[in-house]
Amino acid sequence: MGLITPHDLTLDDYQDKAVGTAFYPKDRAITYLALALAGEAGEVANAIKKMLRDDGGQLTAERGKKIVDELGDVLWYVAMLAWEMDVPLGFLADKNLKKLAARAKKGTLHGEGDER
């Protein structure tokens, strides 16, 4: 898509910088962030639905930019939700990759449930 450029920003750096842009009700942060995350994920899904409906299922440059923008919003809410839980984003990413590697080793990447 031509949108990727080299960068040195780590996930933890991103999270630290994102905190400086945070504005939400702190007394209900977890609930607010979880709901907002679901909403932003819905916007990603909606953009892809429009790709199917309006673009013949082809990822156009314009639609791709919209999806990338929405994915950035998803990332921000994931980062803030993790931050509110005192979880560094890099730790979260590493933990998830280790879980997936263990599933791959067991041959259980396909299927359902967390305990595969």
The pLDDT of 65-86, averaged and rounded, is 97
Its CATH class, for the domain covering 11-88, is mainly alpha
Q: What is the pLDDT of residues 3-27, one digit of tens each?
A: 566 678 899 999 999 999 999 999 9
User: Residue 8: its pLDDT value, please?
Assistant: 82
Residue among 33, 28, 20, 31 nearest 73 (CA): 33
User: Residue 113: its pLDDT value, please?
Assistant: 61
User: Residue 7: its pLDDT value, please?
Assistant: 77
Q: What is the pTM of this model?
A: 0.86
Query: In the chain, what is the greatest distance between 2 CA atoms, to the nearest angstrom?
Result: 44
The pLDDT of 90-114, averaged and rounded, is 86
Hey, what are 104's tokens? 């791959």
Question: Where are the chain's structural domains?
Answer: 11-88
Name the strand (E) or helix (H) holding 76.
Answer: helix 61-84
